[in-house]
Chains A and B, each alone.
Chain A
Amino acid sequence: MASASAAQEDSYLPFSQRPGWEDLQPIPQADAPNALVPIAYTEHYRDAMDTFRALVAKGEKSPRAIEVTEQLIRMNPGHYSIWAYRAETLLATNADLSKELDLMDELVKEHIKSYQVWQHRRTIVTSLQSSTRELPFTTRALSFDSKNYHTWAYRQWVLCHFFSSQTTPAPLSERKATSSAEEDGDEKKRKSVWQEELEYTRELLEKDVRNNSAWNHRFFVVFESGEGGGEEKEVVEREIRYTKTLLSLAPNNPSAWNYLRGILSHSHLPLSSLTPFVTPLALNTPASMPADEPPVSDKAELPAVGAVEWLADAGAEEAEKEGTEGGREKGVEAAALFRSLIQFDPIRTNYWQFRADEVLQKVGIAV
């Protein structure tokens, strides 16, 4: 491999010697002569950069600018100036943007962690005003990296930008003439997209119940997008039930506990409203799980830290509400639960101790 690439370097033909490029005078990088953190560029990269600078100096937005920027981003996908010039050039030359998406489909495989690959895609898709490829595309990307941050943020942007009823419709003059039947169809399709998102998170969690990105996306879909019915009582109950079911299978899963806390906080429900479900998981008494709750897996390793913390926080919440008058007993109980966590989770000794002292202070007990 090494010798093959060395041979390629030897036979490298600079742009200025290629037909159709002779008119460009390459511009070398104006680095300080004694610059620090210098990089030993390959000849290809250096030459392409020198050629790129020559194009920018002329302000040339042309097919050959598209060609040279493609070579550069393949060598350095983090080069935001190149991406920006490429985007401007594509738009200025009315280039075929769906071909650009083909290229992005390819590049993302190798450069999924590059901010620029995603930002460029956004620019192109915004200009195309077409979302047809975007959800299947991110699904593919997530199939090989199910927690990639950029991919998730991008998918959520696509959903907000193209599928939200909160998005301001285009001005009348720019809208295509549509019949009301078509509009109904569009609305139906829009709603089904959100249904499918919910189903997608279910599939991902079935594969990996600890995938926090999938939990986070579910919260986005149900409670934050304005499209998931998160304000409706039935939906809240459905989500609580769903999370409890997954917790009774794998109670040592902080992602699910956080999601459950998120639901309650969003719906202004007290933590204590789930005490009947949480208690058996916290006290290692699975047999006492009420009959109307999902049964605890016999492989569950109890007590689960997330459950003990829940009970402690629920107690603290109630004690603080009742204050120094009626809350003392509950406060002492909550503090004891917090302290009991030190044994199972010693790295957070300071935090559990802090929470214990905090609740005692709130009910008027000196610590």
Chain B
Amino acid sequence: MATSVLTMPWTPSPSDGVESETLTTQIEVEQTISSLLTTHMSSSNSTLLQKHQHLNFLTAILRKPLHPGYTALDASRPWLLYWTLHSMALFEGELDVGGKTRVVDTLRACQNPEGGFGGGPGQMSHLAPRGWDMIDRKGMYNFLMSVKQPDGSFIMHKGGEVDVRGCYCALTIATLLNILTPQLAANTSTFIASCQTYEGGLASSSHPFTSSSLTPPLGEAHGGYTFCAVASWAMLRPFSNEKSPAFKKELNLKSLMRWSSLVQAMPIEGGGFRGRTNKLVDGCYSWWCGGLFGVFGGLLAEETGEEVAFRDVFDRRALQEYVLLAAQNPGGGLRDKPGKGPDGYHTCYNLAGFSAAQHKYTLPASAVDKCREDFVSPFSGSRVIEVGEKEVEMILDEGESQESAEVRMREVWARSLGWTEVSKELVGGEENEVMATHPVFNLTESHVRAMMRHFYLQE
């Protein structure tokens, strides 16, 4: 195993004799974190993941009425559910039947008659919520097409903003629900590539000029947007042979990998990730940046055609140490950094990043082939298929034949489920192990498998 951040040299950021606000805040954080690390060095169980306390923290968010201060998240309640439930799932925390019913009831009240889910009951549909069996797939498809823009991007809701979060949410939903058609995917990879900046990471969006081929990125390279963009890129691979416009840009994986490696924080900061160059380390980037390397692994395995897992280019051990030593809140829940309070969002993305650092994934060609072979056509002469007592409609583009729809469904299926865990590295012993999370969807593998079996009619 690699060296611990506790034994690496704790070199403070060099000042070069030039003071500035960036440096001042950076040095403050380095001092806070390194003094916390020092106290950990003299404690015996500091690298223990406090599962029990975190579960209590999560249960409280789920069931107790949240303080009025949470009103700011009144349009994000499905997100609150996701952060909480996914965190619990990473601990193998299953809800009882009553709890599951309550999840479905809560989300059902957020679904709109014209398709899509809102951030709360009666709220307009927004790209970000998620759900399952009560989902109106046709309505969802229509909603996704209604927020799709000609340049391949997605607006977050009617009248809303364009950014790569929209692509990620739309593609994830469409992949899982088996409604990812060529029309829905069209031009999106071009839009994504246009968001890559000179630093190698990706920005929130780009500006489409109508009269020129310029599409400058808006904003700077950022961990959250970079993850959304790169995971979207991976989901679009089944459509990479589509006829593409002449100005199609490719994603530069080499500069992307450099940027991703360079945003891992130094030992004196605990080894987590920052979200942008020269910004402060923050536990949520444990996933947004730490999670990127799993997706790379797959993209590069595909590019090189190699069976072997792509080698590690980040420090898995240091990332786990940041989560354990700096991000755990002593009373339960996980946080941005020492000195900040815990919340659902940071708990989820710290744990997801922790999982990505423990479980190494790749997308081997042989596993993808195997999934292709195992896939059974869902069509039986008709696009409306009876399953038990209900009818399931296969969503096709206008003019798309059942044969070509079957081919792309098989591809999407195989490249979603071909992801394979190849090795494991656990800091602090086996009791710290959390469940593996899917490198692209950030759901536990068993949830992804169950959900896709359901919607692709594979038993």
Chain A: residues with CB nearer than 8 A to chain B? Answer: 29-42, 45, 53, 75-81, 84, 87-88, 115, 118-119, 122-123, 146-147, 149, 152-153, 156-157, 160-161, 164, 166-168, 207-213, 216, 219-220, 223-226, 249-255, 258-259, 261-262, 265-266, 297, 299-301, 304, 344-351, 354
Contact = CB atoms under 8 A, between A and B. Distances in A.
A13 B171 CA distance: 46
B3 A80 contact: no
A39 B266 contact: no
Interface residues of B, number: 95
B109 interface: yes
Contacts of B108: 32
Given A34-B102, A35-B109, A223-B198, A348 B74 contact: no
A153 B204 contact: yes
Contacts, number: 257
A300 B15 CA distance: 8
A168 B277 contact: no
A147 B279 contact: yes
Contact of B214 (A226, A258, A348): A226
Contacts of A219: 197-198
Nearest to B124: A81
A345 B261 CA distance: 11
Among all A-B residue pairs, the 6 with the closest Cβ atoms = A299-B17, A262-B198, A32-B105, A210-B22, A216-B220, A224-B216
A223 B199 CA distance: 13
B73 A149 contact: no
Nearest to B81: A37
Nearest to B222: A149
B68 A252 contact: no
Contact of B318 (A30, A78, A212, A347): A347
B198 A35 contact: no
B118 A354 contact: no
A36 B62 contact: yes
Most buried by A among B16, B17, B72, B158: B16
B61 interface: yes
Interface string B240-257: 000000000000000101
B161 interface: yes
Contacts of B199: 216, 258, 262
Given A84-B124, A212-B279, A297-B17, A40 B65 contact: yes
A84 B157 contact: yes
B71 A30 contact: no
Contact of B72 (A34, A77, A265, A299): A77
A162 to B, nearest CB: 12
A152 B119 CA distance: 27
Nearest to B277: A212
Interface stretch (B6-14, B326-334, B388-396): B6-14
B20 A208 contact: yes
A148 B349 CA distance: 21
Given A40-B67, A351-B314, A346 B20 contact: no
Contacts of B76: 78
Interface of B: 2-3, 5, 8-9, 11, 13-18, 20-23, 61-63, 65-68, 70-77, 80-81, 84, 99, 101-103, 105-106, 108-109, 118-124, 126, 156-161, 197-199, 203-205, 207, 209-212, 214, 216-222, 255, 257-258, 261-262, 264-267, 271, 276-279, 311-315, 318
A87 B73 CA distance: 21
B308 to A, nearest CB: 13
22 contacts: A30-B121, A32-B109, A33-B105, A35-B106, A39-B77, A41-B71, A76-B74, A80-B157, A84-B124, A84-B157, A153-B218, A156-B218, A160-B207, A210-B20, A210-B23, A211-B22, A219-B197, A219-B198, A258-B199, A350-B311, A354-B311, A354-B313
Given A39-B74, A297-B17, A301-B16, A81 B119 contact: yes
A346 B11 CA distance: 10
Contacts of B123: 79-81
A29 B121 contact: yes
Contacts of A30: 109, 121-122
A208 B80 CA distance: 37
A279 to B, nearest CB: 18
Given A219-B197, A249-B18, A84 B160 contact: yes
A26 to B, nearest CB: 13
B198 A36 contact: no
B80 to A, nearest CB: 4
B224 to A, nearest CB: 9
Contacts of B109: 30-32, 35
Contacts of B81: 36-37
B121 A348 contact: no
A157 B208 CA distance: 10
Nearest to B85: A36
Contacts of B315: 347-350
A211 B198 contact: no
Contacts of B277: 212, 254-255, 258
B163 to A, nearest CB: 8
Contact of A209 (B18, B159, B265): B18
Contacts of B257: 351
Most buried by B among A79, A161, A207, A347: A347
A132 to B, nearest CB: 20
Contacts of A146: 21
A39 B68 contact: yes
A160 B216 contact: yes
A235 B73 CA distance: 47
Most buried by A among B2, B15, B157, B219: B219
Given A32-B109, A261-B198, 12 more contacts: A37-B61, A37-B77, A39-B70, A76-B71, A80-B123, A84-B159, A119-B159, A160-B207, A224-B214, A253-B278, A266-B198, A347-B264
B78 to A, nearest CB: 9
A118 B163 CA distance: 13
A115 B161 contact: yes
